[in-house]
Amino acid sequence: MRRTSFEHAECPIARSLDVIGDWWSLLIVRDAFGGKRKFGDFQKNLGIAKNILAARLRSLVSHGILTLEAAEDGSPYQEYGLTAKGRDLFYVLVALRQWGDRHLFETEDVAPELLDRQLHRPVGQLELHAADGRLLRPGDTMLRRRRCEALNGA
């Protein structure tokens, strides 16, 4: 592991990156969203070395992002599935997808489109709103260290 000094970082971004900030974890989660469930599915689709994939899947399971359960379709093997915590990475994946769409594609090659499953129409951009509903843009926010009630006794 790297960045040991951040293991108990107070910053949630650093903590998140310690869990899913490596080269493969988010791609595995992306494929899990895409319906992949078996070791071989991930391996073939990602082209990742099998030992690395095994280590990543183990890590994701140990962090409660994936579960490893017996397959329901009768196959004798086990399947990896997203937990609620793993499904909640949806917004991280969408943010990465939309940033990549906006900044990493030329007009020639076009990214696949993210569609609403009901309407089959493109979804909007991720939005962050203030308490009063105003749309917030980059730089419209600040951080405040939250007060720790545990410090002064009760």
Fill in the amino acid letter for 3. Answer: R
The tokens for 33 are 């969203």
The answer to whether 90 and 81 are in contact (CB under 8 A) is no
- Name which of a second copy, DNA, none residue 111 binds, using a CB cut-off of 5 to 8 Å depending on partner kind: a second copy
Question: Closest CB to DNA among 81 and 94?
Answer: 81
Could you say which of 55, 123, 126, 130 contacts DNA (CB under 7 A)? 55
Question: Closest CB to a second copy among 54 and 77?
Answer: 54
Nearest distance, CB of residue 97 and a second copy, angstroms: 5
Listed residue (141, 142, 116) closest to 129, CA to CA: 141
C-alpha to C-alpha distance for 145 and 20, rounded to whole angstroms: 24
Containing H/E element for 136?
A: strand 135-136
Strands 66-70 and 135-136: unpaired
The answer to whether 55 and 70 are in contact (CB under 8 A) is no
Q: Which stretch binds DNA (CB under 7 A): 18-26, 86-94, 105-113, 140-148?
A: 18-26
Could you say which of 12, 34, 35, 47 contacts DNA (CB under 7 A)? 47
Interface with DNA includes 8 (CB under 7 A)? no
**Residues binding DNA (CB under 7 A):** 1-3, 22-24, 38-41, 47-52, 54-55, 57-58, 76-79
